[in-house]
Amino acid sequence: EWEAYLAFTDPATMKERLKNAPGGQILELFETRTEHGEYHPSLHTLYGTRDGKVLYMVRDLSGLTGTERYLDRSCTRTGAGAENRGSYAAPADLWHSCVEDLNLCFFWKDTKRRFLGASQAFLDYYGLSGPDQILGKTDEEVGWNVDEKGYRDDELKVIEEGKTVHRVPGKCLIRGKICNIQASKAPVYHDGKIVGLVGYFLDVDAIEARGDHTRTDALTGCLNPRGILETAIESQDKERIAGEKFAILHVSVPAYDEIRTLYGREVSDALLKEIAERILNAVRTFGSVGRMSGADFVVFLRLESGADPSEVEQKIKTDLGSISRVKGSEVTLRPKVTRIRENTKDTDNDLIYRIVSECGFGERSLS
């Protein structure tokens, strides 16, 4: 705070800053030492006068309630007088509106990185029915971040060093789909001590609203072949650099071609969507899902997240095998699930070749 105070009172830049400041005044809050040696929260204000002089005023805010402090600063910044304070919302009201109504995905945590709460937009984004599903849990326990170490290191910098991180790129898992986000986080202080952090993230994919679907299969919402190959390379990089183990499953439904011929495109497309939906539900936050071609899917499982390939494999077989009717047409599926990657000795080229050859990439169209 001392460096910020020196910058605030820097006479070399003061007049220029006042010239460009709204209302010709600059305000900052600093903990200020009193004549009794105590530190009180105080509002420091610089005013520029018509004759080129600068007035410096300090107001002790320690006798005010939290709401009064907020209103005092808000009214001073906007030039409103005390008689107008009733028209300003209290911080509690503003906070409630932000949490419940703004379409902003933000959250707050304690010093152990455990969730204390989140906005409604955040809960909706992850498909959560309520905050109780994350309260008291860390990101690792929830298991929705692809790069858990990166997020953890950023949050420790915020909590332990008081640093602020802005729009750090990352990836998260939403029901088996990898989403690109940018996260910002800042420390929360109480009585001069860091008691937690608050942060928010932006959905980069939604913002860009790309129409070319460079990594996404337009029909199912899963990764497309390009996304699959990029994910394979990214997974090997993470394993090589950070030791994060992973496995790959190949899911195929041989009956798809016959069903498409028999019932047509409308039924076969509906079947693909249903297959993808059930695979995504089986994978949950343990990994990501892609479609190579036809009804050939690839599943990447992050073993660090606690995924058991055998359990996921069996659930996929069971769930897909239970599909008996699509758009009124009877179908019988005999899904096949094989593991095409369990060891850690594949090179990038070996792994890519195995995915391409075993999943039949390039042999059929994507539809």
Q: What is the pLDDT of residue 78?
A: 37
**Which whole-number Å values give the CA distances from 9 to 14, 19, 45, 87, 324, in the listed order?**
7, 15, 10, 33, 75
Tens-digit pLDDT profile for residues 75-124: 443 343 333 334 444 445 556 666 666 678 889 999 999 998 888 889 88
Same domain as 54, residue 170: no
- Tell me what the pLDDT averaged over the chain comes to: 77
**pLDDT tens digits, one per residue of 241-280:** 777 888 899 999 999 999 999 999 999 999 999 999 899 9
Lowest mean pLDDT among 2-6, 83-87, 134-138, 297-301: 83-87
Whether the per-residue pLDDT at 316 is higher than 80: the answer is: yes
CATH number at residue 158: 3.30.450.20
Residue 351, both tokens: 């792994």
Please give the pLDDT value at position 76.
41
Please check whether residue 273 is in contact with residue 220, taking contact to mean a CB–CB distance below 8 angstroms: yes
Query: Are 244 and 354 part of one and the same domain?
Result: yes
Does 67 score more than 50 pLDDT?
Answer: no
Residues 354 and 245 in one domain: yes
pLDDT of residue 169: 78
Report yes or no on 363 lying in a domain: no
pLDDT digits (tens, 9 = 90+) for 34-53: 776 677 777 788 877 666 77
Which residue, of 88, 113, 134, is where some domain finishes? 88
Q: What is the per-residue pLDDT for 79?
A: 40
77 is in which domain, residue-wise? 2-88
Point out the domain boundary residue: 40, 57, 88: 88
Provide the whole-model pTM.
0.46
- What was the pLDDT predicted at 83? 39
Mean pLDDT score, 210-224: 72
Whether residue 278 contacts residue 338, with contact meaning beta carbons closer than 8 Å, is answered with no
Residue 214 domain-assigned? Answer: no
Q: Number of structural domains, the chain? A: 3
pLDDT (tens digit per residue) in 273-308: 999 989 998 888 788 899 988 899 999 988 877 788
Whether the per-residue pLDDT at 363 is higher than 50: the answer is no
What's the rounded Cα separation, in Å, for the pair 353 and 251?
A: 17
